[in-house]
Amino acid sequence: MTHTPHPTGYAGHLLPRGEKDPSRRALLAAPLALGVLSACDRFATAQPAPPPVAPLRSIAPFPIGSAVMSGQFDDPAWVALAREQVSQLTPEWEMKMEYILQSPGRMTFDAPDRIAAVCAAEGVRLHGHALIWYSQGEQAFAGLEGRAFAAAFDRYIAEVAGRYRGKVISWDVVNEPIAEDGNGLRDHHWSRALGADGYMIRAFEQAKAADPDAILFLNDYNLENNPVKGATFLRTVERLLKAGAPIGGLGTQSHLDIEIPAGQITAFMRELGAFGLPVHVSELDASLRRERRGDFRSRPQRLEQQQARVVELAEAFMALPAAQRFAFTAWGLRDSDSWLRRDDKDDGKDQPLLFDDAGRAKPLTAAVAGVFGRG
């Protein structure tokens, strides 16, 4: 299977063209659809009608993505919204090493296999996330040194990327390599065993060997929020490419700080695009909360800041050449799906995503749709 970057005018479908009756899908049967209709009726009577917004996948000239957990396939309302809005899915956690390699020598693939099967059945692109991440794998690789460590590293990538060869269009091969404050690279078990750049080069080489057609991404966060970290990421990309690493795309997670100055996102996206590689907005959300200090902003002020920053991101992404717009992925569909709503400090009021708890479009959705509709 030969993968190509997003063609201009891409319009993915959660049901293949011509498939009008979801009840014929083996994985998502008729009772599921009936449950969705009932849920929608309840929402319609309980809350105001949403703004008129066309499905994002129908108007964006590139794939629209969302994070997914396999259990969400059992939620009729989530399924209905995903079918309507998205054309690409990224496993939020269940394709990471912490899930797959739960103990040394034993791999578990039930959840990622289910996600891959549903994507294939529904005609949705699958973005693999993630092969090598600094925060996982230390326990599973404990006691390995030298050649044994390198062999186990290679074997893991070969088995996982090889298993999904032809099923994923792309991989986050190395996730979050830049230090938290942006000053250099992270120090961890991979870098100590294989070198600060060496583990990344090796990971990309092994992924390329296991799945030659997949687009291979380097992915990180706070690149727009922290100019120091963004600059370090850009220098790292340049260095790895010069060393021959087969990097095929660049991922910016875009967990946006809504208080950053106007223009900061645009400036970073312009520099990221200068490499000429496909760019993935890979994990978009924009929390209304302010951490570690008092917050005296009104809710309307916070929503205004949020919309301004997300719209700037959408406009900066649209400004890239069409061949570089890989996908625009939010880290969840509904606000209630967000990882930001799972901690013990959550008050249930954060609205970091494009759809509200009931799966309805918000003014933010309409603003983003307006940007995408220009293309």
Q: Each residue of 250-261: pLDDT tens digit?
A: 999 999 999 999
Q: How far is CA 52 from CA 55, 72, 364, 365, 367, in A?
A: 10, 26, 12, 10, 11
pLDDT given for residue 355 in this prediction: 98
pLDDT given for residue 345 in this prediction: 64
Instruction: Please write the tens of the pLDDT for every residue from 177-223.
Output: 999 999 999 999 999 999 999 999 999 999 999 999 999 999 999 99
Instruction: Please write the tens of the pLDDT for every residue from 112-157.
Output: 999 999 999 999 999 999 999 999 999 999 999 999 999 999 999 9
- The whole-number average pLDDT for the span 271-279 is 98
List, in order of start, the domains of the chain with CATH numbers: 22-372 (3.20.20.80)
- The whole-number average pLDDT for the span 306-329 is 98
| Least confident stretch, 83-92, 107-116, 338-347 | 338-347
pLDDT given for residue 2 in this prediction: 36
pLDDT at 97 over 50: yes
